[in-house]
């Protein structure tokens, strides 16, 4: 049983403790799917006001659904579609206040309004996956969320370096 102490009182504490938990749960494990599954579970359990949390993996120059928590979601995302495709094609984190104003947004869950997508790079600078967080609350994600999730994405660079296709 894993029992992490996560202080959810404020975002700084939340992301500090979440990083430590993600580091601990993936330590010494080289199976990318297992690591993504456990990290998705931690993000889902501790980050408030989400309706989806998980991963899309880069495969054959497109994104394919990875481990997640939330409602069943679209499986294939071309790189020129959606917030996830934008993050994967540009290599830049996407923090979208309202997805209804984002051209090409893919509505997997009609409840999603705000979205935060962070690319994960391998050691050679190639994108291997993205972390995707959805919220039903407009403007849900701010600079602290961007920083916290970027930090976790950087950690996972080393922890999902095995082939994930
Ligand atoms: N809305 C995303 C698709 C993935 S779901 O949110 C789980 C997008 O536009 O890329």
Q: Is residue 126 in some structural domain? A: yes
Q: Is residue 154 in some structural domain? A: yes
The tokens 């935060």 sit on which residue?
A: 116
Which residue intervals of the chain are DSSP H helices?
Answer: 11-26, 32-46, 82-90, 143-159
pLDDT at 163 over 70: no
Q: Is residue 6 in some structural domain? A: no
Q: Is residue 51 in some structural domain? A: yes
* pLDDT single digits (tens) 95-119: 999 999 998 888 888 899 999 999 9
pLDDT at 141 over 70: yes
pLDDT at 164 over 60: no
- What CATH number has the domain bearing residue 100? 3.30.450.40
| Mean pLDDT score, 64-85 | 96
Does 84 sit in the ligand 1 pocket, CB within 6 Å? yes
Residue nearest to atom 1 of ligand 1 (CA): 106
Q: What per-residue confidence (pLDDT) applies to 27?
A: 93
How close is the Cα of 82 to the center of ligand 1, in Å?
A: 6
Q: What is the total count of domains within the chain? A: 1
Q: Which among 69, 62, 58, 28 is positioned nearest to 158, based on CA atoms?
A: 28
Q: What per-residue confidence (pLDDT) applies to 108?
A: 85
> Which pair of structure tokens corresponds to residue 121?
């790079």
Q: What per-residue confidence (pLDDT) applies to 110?
A: 87
Percentage of the chain lying above the pLDDT 90 cut: 82
* pLDDT single digits (tens) 30-51: 899 999 999 999 999 999 999 9
Q: Which among 35, 41, 43, 36 is positioned nearest to 8, based on CA atoms?
A: 43
Q: Is residue 122 in some structural domain? A: yes
Range of the domain at 112: 11-159
Does 83 sit in the ligand 1 pocket, CB within 6 Å? yes
Q: For residues 82 and 95, is the Cβ–Cβ distance under 8 A?
A: no
Indicate whether this model's pTM tops 0.75: yes
Q: In what order do the strands lie in the sheet with 127-135?
A: 76-78, 62-70, 52-59, 127-135, 114-121, 94-96
Q: Is residue 2 in some structural domain? A: no
**Which atom of ligand 1 is nearest to 105's Cα?**
9
Q: In this structure, are strands 114-121 and 76-78 parallel, antiparallel, or unpaired?
A: unpaired
| Mean pLDDT score, 57-76 | 96
Q: Is residue 114 in some structural domain? A: yes
Q: Is residue 1 in some structural domain? A: no
């Amino acid at each position: 049983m894993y029992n992490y102490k996560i202080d959810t009182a404020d975002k700084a504490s939340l992301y500090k403790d979440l990083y430590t938990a993600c580091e601990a749960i993936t330590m010494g494990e080289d199976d990318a799917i297992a690591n993504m599954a456990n990290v998705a579970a931690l993000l889902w359990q501790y980050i408030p006001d989400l309706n989806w949390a998980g991963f899309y993996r880069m495969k054959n120059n497109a994104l394919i659904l990875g481990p997640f928590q939330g409602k069943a979601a679209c499986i294939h995302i071309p790189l020129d579609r959606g917030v996830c495709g934008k993050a994967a094609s540009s290599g830049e984190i996407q923090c979208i206040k309202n997805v209804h104003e984002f051209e090409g947004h893919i509505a997997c869950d009609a409840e999603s309004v705000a979205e935060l997508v962070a690319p994960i790079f391998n050691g050679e600078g190639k994108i291997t996956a993205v972390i995707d967080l959805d919220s039903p609350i407009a403007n849900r994600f701010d600079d602290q969320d961007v920083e916290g999730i970027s930090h976790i994405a950087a950690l996972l660079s080393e922890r999902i370096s095995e082939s994930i296709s």
